[in-house]
Amino acid sequence: MLKDKLLFLVRFFASAIVLFLLWFFVRDAYISVVGRVSVWFSDVFSRGRLEYLFTRAGELFVRSYSMRADFSVSANPVVANIIPFWALLVASKSIRWNKRLRDALLGFGILIIFHIVALSVIILFVESGSSTLEGIKVFIDALLLAFLPFFLWMFFAGREISFDRMFE
């Protein structure tokens, strides 16, 4: 049993390393797409006009006309939780590959929505300094960013990952 648990951890970390290496090639393109949508979404609720400027090295640059300033948001911590979710699916050998692929795509769709909402809250917080938005941002940072991949894995994998059978 301990051997199976260690093999699961090895599969998880090996797949996470490979996925993180691949992630660096598409990270800025992903942040650019999600960032544009987040800025547009934030602009709907903003006090003034917001404009997407560009993405560089995981940073999303935004212009706020109400602040009369440009600012950046570090998007890396928000969007990097895709990798642990996918690595958990890859490491779970009790799940059939076609179900893993379907779950990976469905989870990715949910994570995209979450990333747009999270980045929008952060953008609006930076622009407004609202204490309500700060509370939402703290909740997103402290709980959802860290645990959402695990929750999605548990949700999608369901019975296939019962902890008694998971390492068989």
**pLDDT at position 162 over 90:** no
Domain ranges within the chain, ordered by starting residue = 2-161
Residue 87 confidence (pLDDT) = 94
Residue 102 confidence (pLDDT) = 92
Q: Among the residues of 46-130, which ranges form H helices? A: 76-79, 82-91, 97-128
- Single pTM value for the model: 0.86
**pLDDT at position 123 over 70:** yes
Per residue in 13-61, pLDDT (tens digit) is: 999 999 999 998 999 899 999 999 999 999 888 877 899 989 888 889 9
